């Protein structure tokens, strides 16, 4: 690879990665903002739950709509539109005084968020050589951990002193960055050289045609299981540990340790994905997640909870990195945005159901052992789908 290509690859990874980081920052701050809103607006538990659910519904709609758009108007344009959508939505929500308006803006923020993630990974996939495509996309995903880290810092230092409104305004800063992108980011070379054919409906039908039905079924099962378990487990982690009687759980230090554990998960997956292949990394890290979830649910001491919480974070986020690398490789350029967006949209349904299921089961006094066993089984089903239906795409040229 020439020095010029190396510079452009790093530039692309930096630009797309910062967009990913801003996304994660917004999602990470949301749980802290909800807690602050509960005090300011006297919210009920149901109203708090709706804030998270509306965000996930927006992500599902955004993944589908912007995935379709990416195959029509280009990856770069959609990347900028989605970045602007959630940035402006975040800024405006700082000035809301009613829950209804806040929920509408959270839907728009979610739509931008849900649309940006699969489109950014598609853009990067199409712009780097086959021999390192998987590694670069996993490294792109690692910016998510940086965003969570930033969210933890803002939530710890900014919200208590300056209020949740200031935190949301900080979340709006990517809007200026999105305008800068317009002049500095080239679109995917594969998209610009590809022949634009078919309608949005035609692309949806094509994703489920006999040529792609097997990989589409595999992706939909995989995405649903991963997103269902991730949001079900991670949104409830602090609460789960409080229920187990550990007060240290809500501490800033614990959030920090959990976030830092994501980074070696990403980096190890990035190192393995071009050596052992996509299927190996996905199956191994998903099985690691399933086992960690099971033992976390059964842990009774603070040390065991910490150990298995760290392993859960390590394996789960490594699997996420591989998932984003693997998804765009299943389709040709003409329907890649549509295919990746539809899989992500279906997965987001799991993101809505996971936290709601935990809330329902907790209310029914179901044990944590049983709840985490459900997530263990869900992740195992996802791994099985990859094993049985998945094809290896390591270092293959994109169609």
Q: What is the pLDDT of residue 3?
A: 45
**pLDDT tens, 152-201?**
888 888 888 898 999 999 888 877 777 677 677 777 777 777 666 667 78
For the segment 221-231, the average pLDDT, to the nearest whole number, is 93
Model pTM score: 0.84
CB atoms closer than 10 angstroms to residue 219:
28
Region of residue 226 (phi > 0: left; psi between -120 and 50: alpha; otherwise: beta) = alpha
Cα angle 62, 66, 72 (rounded to 5 degrees) comes to 165
Cα 76 to Cα 28: distance, rounded to the nearest angstrom: 25
**pLDDT tens, 54-98?**
888 999 999 999 989 988 888 888 988 998 898 889 899 999 989
- For the range 52-56, what are the long-range contacts, defined as Cβ-Cβ under 8 Å and sequence gap of 24 or more? 52/235, 52/355, 53/352, 53/355, 53/356, 54/103, 54/106, 54/107, 54/110, 55/27, 55/30, 55/106, 55/107, 55/109, 55/110, 55/113, 56/110, 56/231, 56/348, 56/351, 56/352
**pLDDT tens, 315-359?**
998 999 899 889 988 998 888 888 988 999 999 999 888 888 887
Give the residue, 112 or 247, on which the prediction is more confident.
Answer: 112
- Contact by Cβ (8 Å): 162, 94: no
pLDDT at 375 > cutoff 90? yes
4: pLDDT confidence band, cut at 50, 70 and 90? Answer: very low
User: Cα separations (Å) of 396 from 134, 199, 332?
Assistant: 10, 27, 12
pLDDT at 2 > cutoff 50? no
User: Cα separations (Å) of 143 from 33, 41, 124, 230, 266?
Assistant: 22, 33, 14, 17, 9
242: pLDDT confidence band, cut at 50, 70 and 90? Answer: low
In three-state secondary structure terms, 316 is helix
Task: Please name each of the domains of the chain with its CATH number.
Answer: 3-181+201-389 (1.20.1250.20)
**pLDDT tens, 11-47?**
788 888 888 888 888 888 887 788 788 888 988 877 8
Give the residue, 307 or 7, on which the prediction is more confident.
Answer: 307
Q: Which of 208, 198, 219, 204 is nearest to 68 (CA)?
A: 204
5: pLDDT confidence band, cut at 50, 70 and 90? Answer: low
- Cβ-proximal residues to 44 (8 Å cutoff; 6+ apart), any chain: none
**pLDDT tens, 293-307?**
999 888 877 788 888
Q: What is the pLDDT of residue 239?
A: 65
Cα 189 to Cα 110: distance, rounded to the nearest angstrom: 28
| pLDDT mean across residues, the chain | 84
Q: What is the pLDDT of residue 251?
A: 55
253: pLDDT confidence band, cut at 50, 70 and 90? Answer: low
């Amino acid at each position: 690879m020439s020095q010029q290509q190396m510079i452009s690859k790093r530039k692309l990874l930096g630009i797309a990665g910062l967009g990913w980081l801003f996304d994660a920052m917004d999602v990470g701050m949301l749980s802290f903002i909800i807690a602050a809103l509960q005090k300011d607006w006297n919210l009920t538990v149901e109203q708090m739950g709706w804030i998270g659910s509306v965000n996930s519904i927006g992500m599902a709609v955004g993944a589908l709509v912007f995935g379709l758009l990416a195959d029509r108007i280009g990856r770069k344009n959609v990347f900028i539109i989605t970045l602007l959508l959630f940035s402006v939505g975040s800024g405006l929500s700082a000035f809301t005084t009613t829950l209804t308006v806040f929920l509408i803006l959270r839907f728009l923020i979610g739509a931008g968020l849900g649309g940006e993630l699969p489109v950014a990974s598609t853009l990067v996939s199409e712009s780097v050589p086959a021999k390192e495509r998987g590694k670069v996309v996993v490294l792109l995903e690692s910016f998510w951990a940086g965003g969570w880290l930033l969210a933890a810092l803002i939530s710890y230092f900014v919200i208590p002193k300056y209020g949740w409104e200031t935190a949301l305004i900080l979340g709006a800063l990517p809007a200026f960055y999105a305008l800068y992108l317009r002049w500095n980011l080239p679109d995917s070379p594969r998209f610009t050289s590809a022949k634009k054919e078919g309608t949005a409906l035609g692309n949806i039908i094509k994703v489920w045609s006999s040529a792609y039905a097997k990989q589409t079924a595999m992706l939909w099962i995989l995405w649903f299981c991963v997103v269902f378990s991730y949001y079900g487990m991670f949104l409830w982690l602090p609460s789960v540990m409080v229920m187990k009687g550990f007060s240290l759980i809500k501490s800033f230090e614990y959030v920090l340790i959990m976030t830092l554990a994501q980074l070696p998960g990403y980096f190890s997956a990035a190192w393995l994905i071009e050596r052992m292949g996509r299927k190996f990394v996905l199956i191994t890290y998903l099985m690691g997640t399933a086992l960690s979830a099971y033992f976390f649910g059964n842990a009774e001491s603070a040390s065991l909870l910490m150990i298995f919480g760290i392993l859960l974070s390590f394996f789960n986020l490594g699997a996420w990195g591989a998932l984003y690398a693997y998804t765009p490789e299943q389709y040709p350029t003409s329907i890649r945005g549509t295919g990746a967006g539809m899989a992500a949209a279906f997965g987001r349904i799991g993101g809505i159901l996971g936290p709601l299921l935990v809330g329902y089961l907790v209310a029914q006094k179901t044990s944590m052992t049983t709840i985490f066993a459900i997530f263990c089984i869900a992740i195992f089903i996802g791994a099985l789908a990859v094993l049985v239906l998945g094809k290896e795409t390591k270092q293959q040229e994109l169609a």
